């Protein structure tokens, strides 16, 4: 999710930057073109003094008018480019700020998740430590029963009695067996699924 959003924002920034680059290159080319045509117009202007006939004068004026039209057209396009660049730079700024804000937000969320995971790891380590401390007090015979059932039941070896039924497979348990489970004098397993059954105070609800 985060990676996809980053890629989308970065793709938009790259696209805008490419458009800016293209417009700037077109602007440079047009500016050179205007400069060249202006120089040509100056030459025509200087040449007017040497014209001796009306025909030559008219022809030169025609050339000058054509160059002036080319310059006006190029300058109009330059104006359009300036406006476009200004708009694109505003867009680029907004996109960069959006990416920065999203990166900050994402980093904050990731740091929060890391803290929560660290807290969970700490709690799990404490639980494992307590389990290991209690494990030495359990008979080896009971440990073997537990490990055997755990391997066969996808890690869920012990389940509570729920309304006189196995909390794992929900098979009904005879009243006499329920009484034995409540006394907890020996390990009792479900006749149907084999899980170890235990009693909680609220097992009857």
pLDDT in tens, 33-88: 999 999 999 999 888 888 888 898 989 899 999 999 999 999 999 999 999 999 99
Domains of the chain by residue range: 2-133, 140-198
pLDDT in tens, 143-199: 777 777 777 656 678 888 888 898 888 889 898 988 888 888 888 888 888 888 888
Fold of 2-133: Helix Hairpins (1.10.287)
**Spatial separation of the C-alpha atoms in residues 91 and 53, rounded to whole Å:** 57
pLDDT for res 148: 76
Decide: 173 and 181 in contact? Cβ < 8 Å. yes
**Spatial separation of the C-alpha atoms in residues 29 and 41, rounded to whole Å:** 18
Q: Which helix (H) or strand (E) holds 15?
A: helix 2-47
pTM of the model: 0.53
How many other C-beta atoms can be found within 10 angstroms of the C-beta atom of residue 152?
Answer: 12
């Amino acid at each position: 999710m985060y990676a996809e959003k980053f890629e989308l924002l970065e793709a938009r920034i790259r696209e805008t930057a490419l458009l800016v680059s293209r417009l700037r290159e077109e602007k440079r080319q047009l500016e050179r073109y205007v400069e060249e045509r202006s120089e040509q117009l100056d030459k025509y202007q200087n040449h007017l003094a040497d014209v001796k006939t009306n025909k030559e004068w008219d022809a030169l004026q025609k050339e000058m008018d054509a160059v002036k039209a080319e310059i006006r057209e190029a300058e109009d396009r330059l104006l359009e480019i300036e406006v476009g660049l200004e708009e694109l730079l505003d867009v680029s700024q907004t996109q960069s700020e959006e990416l920065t804000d999203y990166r900050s937000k994402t980093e904050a969320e990731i740091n929060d998740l890391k803290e929560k995971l660290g807290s969970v790891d700490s709690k799990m380590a404490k639980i494992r430590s307590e389990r290991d401390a209690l494990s030495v007090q359990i008979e080896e015979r009971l440990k073997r029963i537990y490990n055997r059932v755990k391997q066969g039941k996808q890690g869920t070896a012990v389940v509570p009695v729920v309304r006189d039924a196995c909390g794992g497979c929900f098979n009904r348990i005879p009243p006499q067996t329920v009484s034995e489970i409540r006394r907890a004098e020996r390990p009792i397993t479900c006749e149907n699924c084999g899980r170890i059954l235990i009693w909680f105070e609220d097992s009857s609800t």
